[in-house]
Amino acid sequence: MPLKTPEEYLESIKRPVNLYMFGEKVEEFWNHPIIKPSINTVMKIYELAQMDEYRSIMTATSHLTGEIINRFTHIHQSIDDLINKVKMQRLLGQHTACCFQRCVGFDAGNSLYSVTYEMDKKNGTGYHNRFKKYWIEVQNQDLMVDGAMTDTKGDRSKRPNQQPDPDSYLHIVDENDDGIIVRGAKVHQTGYLNSNRVIVMPTLALRAGEEEYAVSFGIDTNTKGITLVYGRQSCDTRKMEEGKLDIGNFKYGGQEIFVIFDDVFVPMENVFMKGEIEFSGELVNRFGGFHRQSYGGCKVGVGDVLIGAAALISEYNGTDKASHIRDKLVEMVHLNETLYSCGIACSSLGFQREAGNYEMDMLLANVCKQNVTRFPYEIGRLAEDIAGGIICTLPSEADFKSKEIGPLLEKYLVTCEGLCAEDRYRVLRFIENLTMGVSSVSYKTESMHGAGSPATQRVMISRLTDLEEKKKLVKDILDIE
């Protein structure tokens, strides 16, 4: 059965990479204190897939091989698959309280499955079989796959082929019978360093004259010519200090990478789009839809944890019986479950593509993500309200553990009888971590910009809404010709 253990996954990513952090090259990144929590997060995926109580959510049966596989490598074959995807993502958010990094490649794979089929049908190309062969390897080896879409984009007022620097968008610079050579960069790459492979996609709908930018392919993440720069996060160097209380979520974390492709060779058998500009926009839209569906699960799971932390700190503060605190917690639950409802709804109204795989309802997926750009901010605001201002004025762990002033801090941090001051300290730092992006990819900022910033969803909602049909409803009721 092709399911890796957490330990097998960890061994699979121990390979040389050209990685930089704080201006210095990093060797054996898997031992770096800033990076290790993000690896722990991915390992949790592999751990839960091994557990009987989560097997039905965390695994699926491959329609390509008939084997039991990790759901993150599955191509959706039913509406139940779409729903279980969202349930799985909520579960993982609950267990890690952060981004678990494996969704982007999952959504890229499901998008390419149908787009390659349709390209072949129209143009007589062989992309679909190439992709299936590639994805069977992913399934059989339980590989973690990143999805790379966002380019640096240069001057946003100019098209890709109008940029002063053509590398502002990743593009093909040369090719031969064996493969292609690409150059450019992909940014905001969630979990790239922790992935075995990456699927690269174009970042927008392309036009005639931009064929070199219409490229999609799969390669190993440590392929020659790729340079990685680790993204900074708020208070990330706390992970390098002694102790762990100031980190907040000291077990788990997210990861973002700036990926530079400098004349990288891609074998032709791993190329899934090469110049088909008419399909670039559809690939972007389908990926966007799948990834916006994802946020109805992952951010809800993190929200569950934040709500729990807010309830716990109200208990520690002695305010849990206050009616206004209970009302705020109810509002947090209401907002969080509304997000989940959107994720389940767009999955429940899914449909089957001609390629055989299932896709969510695109309009509701965009509505889901539009809500995600708003509700986590209110959930976070309420959590900060309940916690109190001490979450951003709390002295350091070094002070708390100091022989001289530690006892004084402990004396004054105790609230209710029988409460351990250190437990209160832990929960306060945890809320700080979640609401202010301390040492993790921010719950709020990622909710805003992940899977596209708010304007992108509004564009799709506008495109997918049939206003003429809605006007016709009124005319029918009022007998207007």
Is-catalytic flag, 319? no
Is-catalytic flag, 190? yes
Is-catalytic flag, 98? no
For 64, counting Cβ atoms within 10 Å of its Cβ (0-12 exposed, 13-18 middle, 19+ buried), the class is middle
| Rg, Å, the chain Cα set | 24
Helix axes 277-317, 362-372, angle to 10 degrees: 40
Identify the bridge partners of residue 146 per DSSP, sorted by sequence position: 198
Catalytic residue selected from 32, 95, 171, 291: 291
Closest to 187 (Cα-Cα) out of 155, 225, 217, 150: 150
> If DSSP codes are grouped into helix, strand and coil, which group holds residue 18?
coil
> If DSSP codes are grouped into helix, strand and coil, which group holds residue 185?
strand
**How many Å apart are CA 253 and CA 272, to the nearest integer?**
32
For 102, counting Cβ atoms within 10 Å of its Cβ (0-12 exposed, 13-18 middle, 19+ buried), the class is buried
Catalytic residue selected from 103, 342, 346, 368: 103
Token pair, residue 273, equals 């789009």
Catalytic residue selected from 256, 276, 397, 432: 256
Is-catalytic flag, 324? no
Catalytic residue selected from 192, 295, 316, 443: 295
- Cβ atoms of 230 and 213 within 8 Å: the answer is no
Is-catalytic flag, 298? yes
**How many Å apart are CA 16 and CA 28, to the nearest integer?**
7
User: Integer distance in angstroms from the first to the last C-alpha of the chain?
Assistant: 63
Catalytic residue selected from 41, 59, 73, 99: 99
CA geometry: angle 116, 222, 437, nearest 5 deg: 90
**How many Å apart are CA 300 and CA 372, to the nearest integer?**
9
Catalytic residue selected from 190, 203, 373, 435: 190
Catalytic residue selected from 298, 342, 346, 368: 298
Cβ-based neighbour number of residue 232 at 10 Å: 12
Catalytic residue selected from 118, 276, 359, 446: 446
> If DSSP codes are grouped into helix, strand and coil, which group holds residue 3?
coil
Q: For the chain, what is the largest distance between any 2 Cα atoms, rounded to a whole number of angstroms?
A: 85
Is-catalytic flag, 103? yes
Show which residues are catalytic. 99, 103, 190, 256, 291, 295, 298, 446
